Structure 1
């Protein structure tokens, strides 16, 4: 069977790609298809997250590219999951994050299940809409109503200047046994 996914970037502007891929392919194959479809260079890692109908996902539910556990084989990776193991008519949604520092976040939803067309090579990019912005942004869904800059400013306003100063006075280096010009 062929799965047709729509991957929507979590962004103010509409940016999405429609991809067809064999249901027996792995999550790693879907990762590679998404990287190619959105024009990333593929040098960063990604992870998939299972989620419910409300798109709620948790970091601890992530499926990484590489086993990062203390014991080899402890963590199941993208390559070990077949698409039809996780995605089917009752569970149609995944969240995909590319570049775990920039957090390019995509909502990936199974839109259709069809028969394989012999003349088509899968995975295939079916449709492309919108241009990827220069850097990862968010529509606000991921962060809710939090404005991180204002959140930090509010936190900083609640602190006294003494709370931000790690030294109690000019002679604090002497108290710790360090010389001021040690280098």
Structure 2
């Protein structure tokens, strides 16, 4: 079985790649195909995140196990595409280079049969040029009501150190 993905760079310009890859391939194989198709050297840390229809970030599948205890998270080279993507769960987020945060939306577009004579993974289509720098993310902070007084709301007196339950000699 062949999975056909559309990988879209999260930017205002249309930049995407269509890649087909065997369903039994690992996420590391898809990571390598992605980095090559977008012109990255592949030397930076990366992760896939299982996503839903709203493109919300779910479970992380990392390039390397960086958890506190070995085996604490799934890693790309041990996770096949068919383990995380199917007809019902079609979306992944991919983040490359955590300093620059290149973010891609990866969506399963089609499931097809293996074709003789084609080498997989296969870059089917490329559209748009990747910008020189990663697009900046627009984070929306919750508005804070200036009239709201935190100390009063929680009945705190900043001058009353004895009742703040704070050990100033903790060190």
Task: Give the TM bin, normalised by the shorter chain.
Answer: 0.7 to 0.9
Please give the secondary structure, in 2, of the residue aligned with 1:50. Answer: strand
Separation in structure 1 between the aligned mates of residue 67 and residue 85 of structure 2, nearest angstrom:
25
Gaps of 5+ in 1: 152-183
* Deviation per residue, 1:13-49 (Å, 9 max, x gap): 0000000000000001000000000000111111000
Name 1:97's counterpart in structure 2.
Answer: 95
Pairing partner for 1:125 from 120, 123, 126: 123
Q: RMSD over aligned Cα, in angstroms?
A: 1.6
8 A contact 2:28–2:63 mirrored in 1 = yes
Separation in structure 1 between the aligned mates of residue 88 and residue 138 of structure 2, nearest angstrom:
27
Separation in structure 2 between the aligned mates of residue 74 and residue 55 of structure 1, nearest angstrom:
24
Name 1:46's counterpart in structure 2.
Answer: 46
- Determine if the alignment matches structure 1 residue 63 to structure 2 residue 61: yes
Q: State the TM-score, normalized to the length of structure 2.
A: 0.79
Gaps of 5+ in 2: 144-171
Q: State the TM-score, normalized to the length of structure 1.
A: 0.74
Name 2:34's counterpart in structure 1.
Answer: 34
Bigger Cα displacement from structure 2, 62-71 vs 85-94: 62-71
Q: How many residues align?
A: 142
Separation in structure 2 between the aligned mates of residue 74 and residue 53 of structure 1, nearest angstrom:
26
Instruction: Judging by fraction of residues, say which structure has more strand.
Output: 2
Question: How far 1:88 moved relative to its partner?
Answer: 0.4
Name 1:169's counterpart in structure 2.
Answer: none
* Deviation per residue, 1:99-145 (Å, 9 max, x gap): 0110000000000000000210000100000000000004xxx645x
Name 1:134's counterpart in structure 2.
Answer: 132
- Determine if the alignment matches structure 1 residue 5 to structure 2 residue 5: yes
Pairing partner for 1:112 from 107, 110, 113: 110
Separation in structure 1 between the aligned mates of residue 74 and residue 104 of structure 2, nearest angstrom:
21
8 A contact 2:2–2:21 mirrored in 1 = yes
